[in-house]
Structure 1
Amino acid sequence: MEAFGECNLEWLRNFREFENGIPSHDTIVRTVSMVEPDEFSVCFVQWMKESIERVDGRIKTIAIDGKSLRGTYDKERKTCLVHMVSAFAIEYGAVLGQVKTEEKSNEITAIPELLKLLDVKGAIVTIDVMGCQVKIAQQIIDQKGDYLLTVKENQGRLNEVFNQHFNVVTLSKYDGLNYSTEEKAHGRTEKECTSLVNLSMNLLI
């Protein structure tokens, strides 16, 4: 922050006088350390929401994902000390909000907390297999949003239902709305198929 301030001092003086120049590194650290993280998170989410609304209004797709921060690996524990769950506005390439967890397994509890901060009304919320939970899906619906969740073997009954009704043979014969891509990556050819299928909630539950 100090280096940024030094490089942009003239521009920053449009907002403050900075009679004594940019605060020192130590002063900035003391100031930032006094900020209450949860309150700052709420303010940040609200600021991002208002900034996007000034552009053209509505967020259509929100991707929620967890990532471990580089440089926080603990060699003794053999784990990363800082893991963040973030909400990303796809259309704008901007982070809407973040919640910190200590371990990747805690994403299940962190995602609902992050959702509480967000306005997902009218948006599609995408989450990987970690967030494929009935309570999370219901929370998105309660907040007037839609969801797109990943189903894998960790969801036993749900995965079994999908394999019964949407196996490769069935999907290859499907004549409804569908889209496929094929690309070469990591030494192999990957083909992804997406089909829009009408489902009842009774089948999913």
Structure 2
Amino acid sequence: MIPQPRPLIEVFSDIPDVRKSRGKRHPLSAILALSCCAMLCGSRSYSAIADWGRNYGSAITHALGFTHNTPCASTLHTIFGRLDREVFEAKLGVWADSVVAHTPATPEAPETAMAVDGKTLRGSKKQGAPGTHLLSVFAHRLGLTLTQQAVAAKTNEIKEVETVLSQIVLAGRVVTMDALLTQRQVAQTIVDAGGDYVMLVKENQPQLKADIELVFTMPPVGDRQESVRTVDVGHGRIETRNLTTSEALVGYSDWPGLAQVFEVGRHVITKKTGAERVEVVYGVTSLSSERATPGRVLALVRGHWAIENKSHWVRDVTFDEDRSQVRCGNIPQVMATLRNTTIGLLRWAGHTNIAAACRRLAAQPVQALALIGIAFEN
């Protein structure tokens, strides 16, 4: 059993059950425990979860909290559709945040860094399900999703980002985001709460982008610019990154909390063909040069994309999320929340290859129970 601040099975017991007592056959906590354990073993849908519950015998069934047989797929469909997704998300978000809060900082990552980004549940969207674009907050280092909020479409992320930020602890933490969410009010909200930000700047902030571009094309007299360079070789590519920081706009720009601006240059060479690709992007951060060297800023910029590699990609490839066409009620978001929790739990337990971890647990389901805090005695 991994040393979680609070076992996940206890969190499941706190989820309110909206069902009436009459005719209620299975405890909600047992159903959620079953769902999480089945996903830990690689189940991708609520029908697969129902099948998993019948595969391992009565001992595991009783350990999960069932007094009868485990529920069928239609029962899971009904319960997931009626579950209060906001409360469910909030309870699991508190658990994930407590895991982050109890994880010691490292010299390389003195503050907790969190990425904010959106993902569309494409299969459910095709079926006309509401709220299929989810805006999530993801802890870079641990790989846990701290919260997610359903939005009408990607363009509505700007409207909902304030809601998402209000659901998490910002004080003493760094929030990273791409250019779509680089907005004055968002920056103000973060610094007012005692947090910091690292934001990319593109055409949606034309004046800010022009000011930063000028700093690095025509450096002001006396401007002390610092740089870092990294080279990565792998996957048939040679990728060179250069990040340069400047404090020239401090006191000139009225961007909330601005402490440094930066330029990131990427030069990618495909070894097989020799083709080259060059990209330059700009950004702003509230972290001062004393708190964040160019190397630290670059690590935060690169770390932002962990939400794509460690969460979105795994949900699509390992758990087949984009092909899932569930569309009724709250089911799409409930299933996404369970996937997030499963992935976060496996990363917290030290697994880096989620697909391999699921295969291992499918052969040893008792370990899946241990991960959520159930001590199994046969």
In the superposition, the TM-score normalised over structure 1's length comes to: 0.80
1:86 aligns with 2:127: no
Residue in structure 1 matched with residue 113 of structure 2 by the alignment = 61
More strand, by proportion: 1
Of the three residues 40, 50, 58, the one matched with 2:88 is: 40
Task: Give the C-alpha shift of residue 29 in structure 1.
Answer: 1.8
- Aligned runs of 1:112-191 on 2, under 5 Å? 112-167=162-217, 170=219, 176-182=225-231, 191=240
SS of alignment partner, residue 166 of structure 2: helix
Change over 3 Å in CA distance of 1:56–1:12 after alignment to 2: farther
Question: Shift of the alpha carbon at 1:34?
Answer: 2.0
Other-structure match for 2:63: 14
- The letter of the residue matching 2:227 is N
Residue aligning to 2:100: 52
Unaligned runs of 5+ in 2: 1-48, 256-378
Q: CA offset at residue 182 of structure 1?
A: 4.6
State the alpha-carbon separation in 2 of the partners of residues 72 and 30 from structure 1: 17
Question: Could you tell me how far 1:144 is from its partner in structure 2?
Answer: 1.1
Q: 1:22 to 1:103 in 2, by over 3 A?
A: same
- Which protein, 1 or 2, shows the higher relative CO under an 8 Å CA cutoff with sep ≥ 6? 2
Q: Could you tell me which residue of structure 2 aligns to residue 2 of structure 1?
A: 50
Q: Residue 72 of structure 1 contacts residue 81 of structure 1 at CA under 8 Å; is this kept in 2?
A: no
CA distance in structure 2 between the partners assigned to 1:190 and 1:134 by the alignment: 32
For residues 71-93 of structure 1, what are the alpha-carbon distances to aligned partners after superposition, in whole Å with 9 as ceiling and x for unaligned? Answer: 24549x9xx97211111101101
What's the secondary structure of 1:196's corresponding residue? strand
Shift of 1:19: 2.4
Give me the identity figure in percent: 25
CA distance, structure 2, for counterparts of residue 87 and residue 73 of structure 1: 21
Aligned residues: 198
1:194 and 2:243 correspond: yes
Query: What is the TM-score with the length of structure 2 in the denominator?
Result: 0.46
Kindly provide the amino acid, as one letter, of the partner of residue 182 in structure 2. Answer: C
Kindly report which structure 2 residues correspond to 1:68-79, keeping only aligned pairs within 5 A, or say none. 68-74=120-126
